[in-house]
Amino acid sequence: MSNILELRELSVEFPTRHGTLKALNEVSFSIAAGEVVGVVGESGAGKSLTGAAIIGLLEPPGRVSGGQIMLEGKRIDNLTDEQMRPIRGKQIGAIFQDPLTSLNPLYTVGHQLTETIVTHLPMTWSQARARAIELLEATGIPAARERIDHYPHQFSGGMRQRVVIALALAAEPKLIVADEPTTALDVSIQAQIIELLKKLCREQGAAVMLITHDMGVIAETADRVVVMYAGRVVEIGRVHDVIHSPRHPYTVGLMGSIPSVHEHVERLVQIDGSMPRLTAIPSGCAFHPRCPHVMPRCKSERPELQQVGTTRAACWLQASSEVA
Ligand code: SF4
């Protein structure tokens, strides 16, 4: 399968008065056509920042300071805002937690959809409007023919997020970056929205980067998972393998936070402490102050990702068990 997105040792930094803060540190992974890759971690892990770097919307003074972002084999991290804008509309679709970020309250959803389509696809306004109705129907909006002329505020939160998905897919992008797309929604609606996103992307052959703090969402949706901690990838592999046999203690901790519907258990394992601030990333393995398995070398030597079974993990524990 060909890669739609490829990150090669992507680093992002923020120059500040007190020195330069490294927010992403050599992040590498790829997403193939039709594949859903979940990027998971607590708040501050760098997952949303990775998404923002890909869509070219890093908040200044944040900037890509190293590595490359390749979209269908072409480098996009060195493009200007002006060069990036058409790519963001046509080749990359974005879905954010709050649908109102993506929708203009002053225009009907039909106007916004139709305009996006005529901007990026060779269609007349009336062809694009017909396509907009199809898209709304595909996302499960009832009575799409009438609702197309409604304004964003006339939709419920769940319905509005469906409109945003329609908008993100309108130009038939190759890559969808979805950042916590269901976090603001009721649990019952979350599953429907995720299922819908997955189905539509599969049908269009789009690659999906699904950013979430929720390992449960990843378990149900993604093909592969990238676990991030303090701006680095600490584990990467197929979802099935990572969930059944997590190799990094941080992943084990995140796994413990999947709520079990059947057993009515909310949290099985707690990870004590919190994600370090960018100004105070611990030496060696950044997870060491919170790790139940910390060893002396963890405090001074940083582990790199290495193959462990079918997955890759950055942890000295794996290195010692491999040697043993
Ligand atoms: Fe824990 Fe050490 Fe592994 Fe880091 S390298 S996760 S501190 S065992």
Is the pLDDT score of 265 beyond 80? no
Question: What value does the mean pLDDT take over residues 100-120?
Answer: 93
206: closest CA among 168, 263, 234?
A: 168
Atom of ligand 1 nearest to the CA of 297: 2
Q: 117 to each of 94, 122, 123, 128, how far by Cα in Å?
A: 15, 8, 7, 6
Which residues contact ligand 1 via a Cβ below 6 A?
248-249, 285, 287-288, 291, 293-295, 298, 303, 315-317
Residue having the nearest C-alpha atom to atom 5 of ligand 1: 315
pLDDT digits 0-9 by tens, 216-262: 889 988 999 999 999 999 999 999 999 999 999 999 998 876 555 44
Predicted pLDDT of residue 298: 97
Q: Are 89 and 81 in contact (CB under 8 A)?
A: no
Greatest alpha-carbon pair distance for the chain in Å reads 68
pLDDT in tens, 66-86: 999 999 999 999 999 999 999
Query: Looking at residues 207-216, what average pLDDT do you find?
Result: 92
| Å from CA of 21 to ligand 1 middle | 23
What was the pLDDT predicted at 261? 47
- Numbers of helices and strands, H then E, in the chain: 12, 12
Give residue 279 CA to ligand 1 midpoint distance, Å: 20
Asked if residues 102 and 184 have their Cβ atoms less than 8 Å apart, the reply is no
Q: For residue 288, report the distance from its CA to the centre of ligand 1, in Å.
A: 6
Tokens of 28: 């590498």
Q: Say if CB 253 and CB 273 are below 8 A apart.
A: no
Query: In whole angstroms, what is the distance from residue 193 CA to residue 172 CA?
Result: 18
Whole-number Å distance, alpha carbon 297 to ligand 1 midpoint, is: 9
Average pLDDT over residues 272-286: 91
The answer on pLDDT for 267 being more than 90 is: no
**Are the C-beta atoms of residues 256 and 269 closer than 8 Å to each other?**
yes
Walk me through the domains of the chain, giving residue ranges and CATH numbers.
Answer: 3-91+173-323 (3.40.50.300)
d(CA 294, ligand 1 centre) in Å: 5
Structure token pair of residue 308: 């462990």
* Atom of ligand 1 minimally distant from the CA of 234: 6
